[in-house]
Chain A
Amino acid sequence: MILSGWGRTTPQACRVSRPRSEAELAARVAEGGLIARGAGRAYGDAAQSAANTVDMGGVNRMIRFDADSGQLVAEAGVWLADVIATFLPRGWFPAVTPGTRFVTLGGAVAADVHGKNHHREGSFGAFVDWIDLMGPDGTVRRLTPGDDLFRWTLGGMGLTGVILRVALRLRRVETGWIAQRTVVAPDLAAAMAAFEGNADALYSVAWIDCLAQGAALGRSLVMLGEHASVAALPGVRREHPFTVPARPRRALPFDAPGFALNPLTVRAFNEVYWQLGKRKAGPALVPWDAYFYPLDAIGNWNRIYGRRGFVQFQCALPLASSADALHELLKVVSASGQGSFLAVLKRFGPQAAPFAFPMEGYTLALDFPLHGQTSALLDRLDRIVVAAGGRFYLAKDARMSRETLWQADPRAAAFVELRDRLGLRAAFASTQSERLGL
């Protein structure tokens, strides 16, 4: 069947199987060249292998929950959305969540996804107590943070084995609401100052107008958040603190035509968003779904970019060179007019796992519809990041060259060395790992 990433730029005919037991899965592993696929939310070709893709969607049972420690043990195909649906009404929420809840636990571990609290608490892996990992010989090992292979599996993109089960610590919350405070930052320096000045906020993230130029370059709406206490809710909400108003779910029933998103419409959108956002400056109570997952309310939002799909660009920049590199990246993007309206800026805390994406500094995420000029623009952005000592997020990557990865990420050599040493390279491979020489 034809598989592609969420960006829809990497369609490929793949042999897909859906093993029902560990024995069936072990037989697939023995065939080699295997990659496990979760919800298919990686943007590029990270979860597809022409010869041997394993759909983990059927491996999705919850096993047990300890209401004292908040530890949930579940099979790897369980979605974060299921975890929230099951446990938010009981007062628990994922400690780290990416910008969509339609990801599997296995995928979240493999990409070591980060959330708006990375600067304070680290990425998904920081809350994983153990994983069960099937190795190249089909045996299953329970790995804890003390194990080398556990740490390389975080951000290892499924290339260290098949993640079968995850023990995850959830966070206790009093309500389903986020106390949000929006800081209006008229330029990049103000946005970065807002992050640095609010390092104690649990959540922080900025929408950045990547088309603003001149003195307004990098103008942003920095959104800070904390889980709201029951006492912070208006009286009528206190009785059912986990209930938030239902959001209408919309879906794009068809691909938008290619011209729907053009520099003009995106520029207009960004201007309107900025003007509206400025008025929302200050505190507000926001439902959990609107705060963490604004795009989840629109099914198949990836279709807005039309049939050809879109690519994501997300880099991490070291703190020391962040200001200059961000300035340069935004100048190139705004001058090109190829901006996206989903541009996100965020402060990262330090790197934890040896091959994880985040590093102490800043991350910038942009998306671009795929067409002729995009490729040259992305190559320019790549070079700025490499020169600044930054690196790229493999869960978003669909098109990076092998040279770029190896220049940006010297850790790749150690990762490949580990894969060779443990005999993982023949057993586990994705289209992405082949492209990047991992």
Chain B
Amino acid sequence: MTKGAVLILGGRSDIGLAIAHAFAAAGHPVMLAARGPETLEADRADLALRHGVTVTLHAFDALDTASHAAFVDALPSLPAIAVCAVGAMGVQAKDEHDPAAAIAVMRANFEGPATILAILADRFEARGRGTLVGISSVAGERGRATNYIYGAAKAGFTAYLSGLRNRLAKQNVHVLTVLPGFVATRMTAGMDLPARLTATPAAVGAAVLHAVERKRNVIYVKPVWRLVMAVIKAIPEPVFKKLKL
């Protein structure tokens, strides 16, 4: 039985690669898309060798939104599943005073991902099936002083995914929103993350595969995050604004 191909946008990221491994292990061919894809050759060979599936590399620049339609046209085939793991953390303390840097964070986390998913959504809708996966963030659930630029962009992406899901629910196109919580990756290296709240990239990969197979809508990778965010969202604003989080 051959399974449908999975396209990983942001295929260089730790989370993107871990999701690629999870789907490849389940027998899905993989298309890894990133800037400078030739530097992903070692990862391509590793995926293909370990899992015995076809793995291809594709040049993709999330910020160059004008190129997105041509990017999709150039893929060897329209994938069954597309995962958007594109994102950039930025440096809040610096970016909040630097409009250009803040715009770059907003574009990488919202504009770019939304644009490529919009194009894929139309293609999937026309075909009459497909799965779109967006890796968003718990940071988008409530803005905090320490990462509100990133959080605001992710909030936009989460709302976008929610709307997309609403629009496509009757068209046999499924949309999954993933809120990973803390993940031990290159992006968070050096940050002091609490172990109980921190997932490995492999755990994110397994959770995404599972959620796609079960057609889940919104998942937290570690269930404890559902509770944590419920508490954070319930704090009244007069109190919340004085907290250091």
Q: Name A residues whose Cβ lies closer than 8 Å to a Cβ of B.
A: 18, 20, 61-65, 82, 86
Q: Is the CB of A62 within 8 A of B186?
A: no
Q: Can you report 21 residue pairs joining A to B where beta carbons are below 8 Å apart?
A: A18-B189, A20-B186, A61-B42, A61-B43, A61-B45, A61-B46, A62-B45, A62-B46, A62-B49, A62-B50, A63-B42, A63-B45, A63-B46, A63-B49, A64-B45, A64-B49, A65-B49, A82-B50, A86-B49, A86-B50, A86-B51
* Bound Cα distance A86, B49 (Å): 8
Q: Which of B32-66 contact A (CB under 8 A)?
A: 42-43, 45-46, 49-51
Pick the most buried of A18, A61, A82: most chain B CB atoms within 10 A of its CB. Answer: A61
Chain A residue nearest in CB terms to B14 = A58
Closest 9 CB pairs of A and B: A61-B46, A62-B49, A86-B50, A62-B46, A61-B42, A62-B50, A65-B49, A63-B45, A61-B43
Q: A62-B45, A64-B49, A86-B51 are in contact. List 8 more A-B contacts (CB 8 A).
A: A61-B42, A61-B43, A61-B45, A61-B46, A62-B46, A63-B42, A64-B45, A86-B50
- Closest A residue to B46 by CB, please name it: A61
Number of chain B residues whose Cβ lies closer than 8 Å to a Cβ of chain A = 9
- Nearest CB of chain B from residue A281's CB, rounded to whole Å: 40
A62: chain B residues within 8 A (beta carbon): 45-46, 49-50
For A82, what are the chain B residues with a Cβ–Cβ distance below 8 Å? Answer: 50
B186-200 vs A: 1/0 string, CB under 8 Å?
100100000000000
CB distance from B24 to the nearest CB of A (A): 11
Closest Cβ neighbor of A65 among chain B residues: B49
A82 to B51 alpha-carbon distance, docked (Å): 11
B50: chain A residues at CB < 8 Å are: 62, 82, 86
Chain B contact residues: helix, strand, loop or mixed: helix
Complex CA distance for A124 and B184, rounded to whole angstroms: 32
* A86–B46 alpha-carbon span in the complex (Å): 11
Q: How far is the CB of A411 from chain B (nearest CB, A)?
A: 37
Closest B residue to A20 by CB, please name it. Answer: B186
CB contacts (< 8 Å) of A65 on chain B: these are 49
Q: Complex formed: what's the CA distance from A61 to B17 in Å?
A: 12
Please indicate the chain B residues that have their CB under 8 angstroms from the CB of A86 in the complex: 49-51
Residues of chain A within 8 A of B42, CB atoms compared: 61, 63
Q: Which residues of A contact B45 (CB under 8 A)?
A: 61-64
| Measured CA separation A64–B43 after assembly (Å) | 11
Closest chain A CB from B43 CB (angstroms):
6
Q: List the A side residues contacting B49 at CB < 8 Å.
A: 62-65, 86
- Near A by CB (< 8 A), chain B positions 56-114 give none
Kindly report which residue of chain B lies nearest to residue A17, judged by CB atoms: B189
**Distance between Cα atoms of A63 and B44 in the complex (Å):** 9
Closest beta carbon of chain A to B183's beta carbon, Å: 14
Please name the residue on chain A nearest to B50 by beta carbon: A86
Q: Which residues of A contact B51 (CB under 8 A)?
A: 86
* In the bound complex, CA of A32 to CA of B189 (Å): 22
- The smallest beta-carbon distance between B57 and chain A, in angstroms, is 14
A84 to chain B, nearest CB (A): 12
**A279 CA to B181 CA, complexed, in Å:** 52
- The residues of B that contact A63 with a CB separation of less than 8 Å are 42, 45-46, 49
B189 to A: closest C-beta gap in Å: 7
Kindly state the separation between the CA atoms of A62 and B51 in the bound complex, as whole angstroms: 11
* Contact residues in A for B186 (Cβ distance below 8 Å): 20
With most chain A CB atoms within 10 A of its CB, the pick from B42, B50, B51, B186 is B50
* Cα of A178 to Cα of B186 in the assembled complex, Å: 42
Q: Which chain A residue has the least Cβ–Cβ distance from B48?
A: A62
The residue on A at minimum CB distance from B17 is A61
* A61 and B186 alpha carbons, distance in the complex (Å): 17
State the Cβ distance, A270 to closest chain B Cβ, in Å.
Answer: 37
Question: How long is the Cα–Cα vector from A313 to B8 in the complex, in angstroms?
Answer: 48
Q: How far is the CA of A86 from the CA of B50 in the complex (A)?
A: 5
Q: Which chain A residue shows the least CB distance to B189?
A: A18
Query: Chain B contacts of A61 at CB under 8 A?
Result: 42-43, 45-46
Give the distance to chain A from B36, nearest Cβ to Cβ, in Å. Answer: 14
Please give the distance in Å from B13's CB to the nearest CB on chain A. Answer: 12
Residue of chain B at shortest CB distance from A63: B45
**Which residue from chain A places its CB closest to the CB of B43 in the assembled complex?**
A61
| A82 CA / B202 CA spacing, docked (Å) | 14
Which residue of the partner chain A has the closest CB to B49? A62
